[in-house]
Amino acid sequence: MTRRFATLDVFTDRALAGNPLAIVEEAEGLDSAQMQAIAREFNLSETVFVLPPDLPGHAARLRIFTTMGELPFAGHPTIGTAIHLATTRHGPDFEGRLVLGEKAGPVPVRIWSKGGRMQAELTAPVLPELGAVTPARTDCAAALGVAENDLGALVPQLWRGGPGFLYIELASLDALARARPIQPGFDALMAQVGELGVYVFAAGEGCDFQGRMFAPAENMPEDPATGSATAILAGPLVAQGRVGEGETVLQLRQGVEMGRPSELVLRIEVEGGQLRAAHVAGSAVPVMRGEIDLPGV
């Protein structure tokens, strides 16, 4: 059976920037092993498989795979797929809401047009939760190849919201540029926190924060844009007093050091000192379309 696919660059308004995404349309009939094999063939950070919805009112059900395994929720696949479905099903002028079913739960996505480019904002399906492990600053610095005084004031913490990430603030963009996974300390740190990815960030120039995400064990030495990690960042920012009451909108940049600059918007809602919702927004640009024609797939 021939299956259509498309690729988009997500969290950017121009092609060949942002985070590439593969979308396999009409994926019913594929089993998990076949989806995993196709994701390895694309060899992108994530590949999405679009299935018929299993709940009324949903636009589609998504399964999201890295080259190594399936994710319960991911940001750039959600944003990219929502824009792709809105465009292909409703046209380039669509404005409204879609709900996408993911393993972590239903993900509402608001879609609108700005400057001739479609934008989408997801609402994280689960609120971030603080993990039980707080690693030592010395271990964090050694794992990233920076000095301990290169770390920022935020306490390094593990937070989960579907996937999980260790959040480490750095004191400068210079330290952020120098950061990289250093072995065996990086793998030892990941074993300690029980997750595969580290999100590092610093105060940005022309944006609120600039970030990087390393997950070498996931065959992802660095990710150009990590929407789920951006949403979960709301957890430590609120918990450690960086975000006040009401609504806060933050501009974030990622992928700069890779030559894949990505622009993300994090909107945080706080009520009574508690995080009530985290939203991530961005754009996406179509790049390629084609067909998968493999025997038995």
Kindly list the catalytic residues. 46
Rounded Cα gap, residues 230 and 223, in angstroms? 12
SS3 of residue 5 by DSSP = strand
Q: What is the dihedral of CA 215, 221, 224, 229, to 10 degrees?
A: 10
Q: Angle, nearest 10°, between helix axes 185-193 and 137-144?
A: 130
Quote the Cα angle for 98-99-102, to 5°: 140
How buried is 254 (Cβ within 10 angstroms: 0-12 exposed, 13-18 middle, 19+ buried)?
A: buried
Note the residue count of the chain: 297
* DSSP-derived secondary structure letter, 41: H
Strands (E), the chain: 3-10, 19-24, 47-51, 60-65, 70-71, 96-102, 105-114, 117-123, 129-130, 157-160, 164-169, 197-203, 209-215, 220-223, 246-254, 262-271, 274-292
DSSP character string of 98-144: EEEEETTEEEEEEEEEETTEEEEEEE-SS--EE-S----HHHHHHHH
Backbone angles phi, psi at 190, to 5 degrees: -65, -40
